[in-house]
Amino acid sequence: MSITVQIEDLIEKKASDFEISKLFKAHIQNYKNSLGELFERNQGKDFLVTHTKTLDSIIALMYKTVLRRLFGNYLPMRSNIPIVFVALGSYGREQLCVHSDIDLMIVYEKNDGYNTAAIIEKFLYLAWDAGLKLGHRVHEVGDLLGASREDITIKTAMMESRLIIGSPFTWSAVQSRLTAIRYDNPKAFILAKIEEAELRRKKFPSSMQPHIKEGVGGLRDSQLLFWIAKTLYGVTTLKELSGTLFSEEQYREYRIALELLFRVRSALHLLSGKQQDQLVLDYMPRIAEMLGFADERRLVTKLLEAQWRINNFTRIYVKKMARPYQHDAISISKLRQGRVQKGFYALDEVLYASYRMQPPSIHSLLEMLCGLEDRSWTFDASVLFHFTYVSISHPLRAKTYALLRKLFEREHLYVVLQLFYDAGILHQLIGAFKKVLHLPQFDGYHHYPVDLHSIKCIEALENIADPHVKLLYAQLPAADKVLLKAIILLHDTGKGRKQDHSEVGAKLIVPFIKNLKLPSQQFERAALLVRHHVLMSHVAYRENLYHEKTLYQFMSKIKTPDNLTLLYILTYADINGVGPGTYTSFGANLLHELYEASLEIASQNDRIGDALKRRNKEKKLVNDPEFGSFSKIEQKKILSIESDLFFLKHAPHEILSVSKQAFGCGNFTYRLEQNGGLVIHIFRKIPLNLGYLLGKLSYLDVASMDIFTLFDGIKYFKIEFLQRPREGTLEEVERIVHEAFDMSKTIELPKPVIKPGEITLDCDHSIHYAQLNLTTANQRGLLAYFVRLFDEADINIATAKIHTNKNVARDHFLIEKQNRMCDNAREIIAKLVGE
């Protein structure tokens, strides 16, 4: 049974107002419950129109019910009752979303024959009791113009009025007032709406969690366009201007974009069960599924593209319609005096253009930009119009790249790139952007999609606040500045693919800088810096800057001080381009400290080369099947071993063998080998009395000794002797090794003879280590005596290279800078040389 029949039945039975409102409430709830199925059948504007018409029918039925209750069987013709129900705002535009307020205006004319106040009051109580979410206004026809002048929001709502039900005579009187409202001071209304929009756009900027209603390119922007068109031309739909104000194709693209916004917003309201107008991360997967997108990334990419389209279209045609109100005769005269070239005019650092001139070529537009004074220009929407609809053929000509090169040489490139983005031609001029247009970055870090982030990085480069970075950038040669801008702009263009985006970006940057005619020696630098564009921030924030291994490995990838400087500036721009507040003083200090420390060791090519060799050895190690048999924690510990020498001196299987023994170490363990001479392998967590051990075995010549710090506090000693112990004395050697873990053991050792100049100490070898070099005649007990003195002085040998050849000892020690090491070591040297 239809609700109309049920209501009539209740009225005949003289049911209470409560029973009738209860019936309406149940009907409305049933309708709300069916909205999901309706959405599956009809999405976008069709869904909203269907929803609006359903609400119209409910409101109309409520009005009829009130009249039937009040007049009984003596119901007058509705055309005689001086009341109309008018839909306002999005309801009036037939764009009302499911959880938005129903903006309703009830207008009446005074008539002694009808108690209009009672009718309206009865209707409102019925609507409220039935659960309708009404935002209503009640006006007498003659008060409409005065009411519209009270608040711009009221006037705006009235501009979108649509009759739901009521007297056609009263509606005719209302329409007459609405026309008067439209003609009432249109300039003030238009300028106020444009100013309101600018404030709104600042409050809701572009975001990877788009605000469908209030954000840049959101529904409010499309409504602004309609409000101005309605004010100036009296249109009921924007389509009426298609073919005159804009082309049918331009309008079609705009409507396709708007359709997606309608679909997303409706899905959001249905899914959240409330008036939810921002597409936050939590809703994205389900919304993507509801709308038939492969995943949330594809959904947001298309949504950001749609908002870009609406923003572009709205800006261009709002300005085209409103310009007579924004420029008076005096400003137009000044504009003409600032003629840049035919059809383009500059005034107060703003560039304007004529909408009427023939579309310029891309070369003409780029030449015009190159000819502007190098400053931070603002480009009016009239300029945006010509860049949006310019024809660009591919492949680009050499002349196009030559003009782009000139733009990259300017100090103020950011405003030009933003213009290209706003016009939708960035990817046409720089092909590397085709795959990352409007591409979101759901990493919890970036605030902007890839393309906008890249442009924001250029803005950061042009507005460097960090004094260290600013000075370095100012000192760069002009060619390096052009290179750096290209790198910063394209550093993330490899995103959105299966391969590592840094590797893809390294391939994309080279063709672009080739086309810019940069020197060929810059190609490798550009690829290297894009490949490692996240390295500096990664090292600064996540690794220990006080370990030499960190610095040497870092510089092994960056290679030169000049590259280091470019990477430092690139890192600054990249972090600042993420979003406000990302670049902190803490982070700035870390980056500066890493830069200075790396610069200090940049000239030490041997050590940097060692670090590079170590990286290659690590790659082989990781690919070794035996490495995969270790646990993830164990693998991480092996790769964390600080000593580059350890990796350089051992093959992957040897590294794994040593590591395996270390993992099984308690307080200490050892192993003896006799391959030619004696070899002692010692793993220890507790202190080792090395001086005692070497002293007791001083009857054997040490060929070499390695000391490596591994992990978990374990040190690994490998001592090679030229001779084997006498037969039958191996057990004695084992006893000595055991005794060497008793730190109270001592042994008398002869003092070696060392001449001045045979021992040197370099306390400036690096930030964390000093290097001691000893070249002297090989003497029995030399190493034992030497090590004992260091033990007594509490000097820690981090790595030792011991080599004896042709009776000459050539020993090198890396010593940790601690416990006044340099002062103590100098005292030891003085003792050794008899000073």
- CB under 8 Å to 225, separation ≥6 — which residues? 238, 313, 314, 317, 318
> Is the CB of residue 453 less than 8 Å from the CB of residue 586?
no
Q: Is 70 exceeded by the pLDDT of residue 385?
A: yes
Gap between the Cα atoms of 506 and 456, Å rounded = 20
Q: Is the dihedral of CA 232, 233, 235, 237 positive or negative?
A: negative
C-alpha closest to that of 830 among 768, 777, 759: 759
Q: For 608-624, what is the mean pLDDT?
A: 80
DSSP string, 793-816: TTPPEEEEEEEEETTEEEEEEEEE
Q: For 6-35, what is the mean pLDDT?
A: 90
Instruction: Summarize pLDDT for 429-452 with one digit per residue, the tens.
Output: 999 999 999 999 988 888 899 999
Q: How many residues does the chain have?
A: 835
Gap between the Cα atoms of 565 and 472, Å rounded = 7
pLDDT of residue 545: 73
Gap between the Cα atoms of 270 and 286, Å rounded = 11
> Which string of b and e fits 615-635 if b means at least 16 CB within 10 Å?
eebbeebeeeeebeebeeebb
pLDDT band at 813 (very low <50, low <70, confident <90, very high): confident
pLDDT of residue 609: 63
Gap between the Cα atoms of 157 and 104, Å rounded = 10
pLDDT of residue 359: 86
Instruction: Summarize pLDDT for 713-722 with one digit per residue, the tens.
Output: 899 998 888 7
Gap between the Cα atoms of 416 and 387, Å rounded = 11
pLDDT band at 800 (very low <50, low <70, confident <90, very high): low
pLDDT of residue 330: 58
pLDDT of residue 397: 95
Gap between the Cα atoms of 791 and 398, Å rounded = 70
> Is the CB of residue 102 less than 8 Å from the CB of residue 91?
yes
Q: For 331-338, what is the mean pLDDT?
A: 74
Structure tokens at 731: 């057990």
Q: Is 60 exceeded by the pLDDT of residue 576?
A: yes
- In the chain, what percentage of residues exceed pLDDT 90? 61
Q: Can you list the alpha helix ranges (DSSP code H) found in 72-115?
A: 89-92
Gap between the Cα atoms of 819 and 68, Å rounded = 100
Residue recorded with tokens 């109270």 = 744
Q: For 335-351, what is the mean pLDDT?
A: 86
Gap between the Cα atoms of 534 and 731, Å rounded = 55
- CB under 8 Å to 649, separation ≥6 — which residues? 706
- CB under 8 Å to 138, separation ≥6 — which residues? 105, 106, 107, 108, 120
pLDDT band at 366 (very low <50, low <70, confident <90, very high): very high
pLDDT band at 806 (very low <50, low <70, confident <90, very high): low
> Is the CB of residue 455 less than 8 Å from the CB of residue 418?
yes
Of 487 and 548, the structure prediction assigns the larger pLDDT to 487
Bridge partners, 678 (sequence order): 674
Instruction: Summarize pLDDT for 643-683 with one digit per residue, the tens.
Output: 777 887 788 999 999 999 999 999 999 999 987 789 999 99
pLDDT of residue 646: 82
Q: For 794-820, what is the mean pLDDT?
A: 70
pLDDT band at 642 (very low <50, low <70, confident <90, very high): confident
Q: What are phi and psi of 86, to 5 degrees?
A: -120, 130
Dmax over CA atoms of the chain, in Å, equals: 133
Instruction: Summarize pLDDT for 688-705 with one digit per residue, the tens.
Output: 888 888 888 888 877 777
pLDDT of residue 608: 62
Gap between the Cα atoms of 341 and 351, Å rounded = 11
Instruction: Summarize pLDDT for 495-549 with one digit per residue, the tens.
Output: 988 899 999 999 999 999 999 999 999 999 999 999 999 999 999 887 877 667 7
Q: Is 70 exceeded by the pLDDT of residue 819?
A: no
| Of 306-320, 544-558, 643-657, the least confident | 544-558
pLDDT of residue 335: 73
Q: What are phi and psi of 417, to 5 degrees?
A: -65, -40
Gap between the Cα atoms of 103 and 92, Å rounded = 8
556 alpha carbon, distance to own chain's centre: 28
- For the entire predicted model, the pTM comes to 0.75
Q: For 776-788, what is the mean pLDDT?
A: 76
| Of 280-284, 562-566, 609-613, 750-754, the least confident | 609-613
C-alpha closest to that of 797 among 676, 641, 691: 691
pLDDT of residue 365: 96
- In the chain, what percentage of residues exceed pLDDT 70? 95
